[in-house]
Amino acid sequence: EVQLVESGGGLVQPGRSLTLSCAASGFTFGDYAMHWVRQVPGKGLEWLSGISWNSDDLDYADSVKGRFTISRDNARNSVYLQMNSLRAEDTAFYHCAKGVSGGIAARPGDSWGQGTLVTVSS
């Protein structure tokens, strides 16, 4: 069974940094692209970033480009989201999601983690 478990969320002041982790199990992690999607509580879904199986292909939403960095460690079956210069509008649940193959252009989202809440506030 595919399992994705996010961690690293919490309360952070505006302008500070935070790194989220997503631990994967139940599949051959190194074969698949991974994505981060966020959801403001009570609101809709926003795709943020994707990374290919070998980290060669990365992409970001304009809303986080230049501030957030996605990375992965296939030996640790984990994907990360480093978030810098955080703003109040970054407050959301952050979910990782699995792609159906190795490239980020492939269909995303066949499995999701429950999410970790990031609150940006002074």
Q: How far is the CB of 108 from another protein (least distance, A)?
A: 6
The binding track of 34-73 with respect to another protein, each residue x by CB under 8 A or -, is -x--------xxxx--x--------xxxx-----------
Q: How far is the CB of 48 from another protein (least distance, A)?
A: 8
Give the separation between CA 35 and CA 115, rounded to whole angstroms.
12
Q: In the set 23, 112, 117, 119, which binds another protein (CB under 8 A)?
A: 112
Does position 2 interact with another protein (CB under 8 A)? The reply is: no
Distant-in-sequence contacts of 49-55, Cβ < 8 A, 24+ apart: 49/81, 50/99, 50/104, 50/108, 51/79, 51/104, 52/102, 52/103, 52/104, 53/102, 53/103, 54/102
CA distances (Å), origin 10, targets 6, 27, 51, 94: 12, 28, 24, 11
Closer CB to another protein, 15 or 24, in the complex: 24
Site for another protein in 72-111 (CB under 8 A): 95, 104-105, 107-111
Residues of this chain that interact with another protein (CB under 8 A) are 35, 44-47, 50, 59-62, 95, 104-105, 107-115
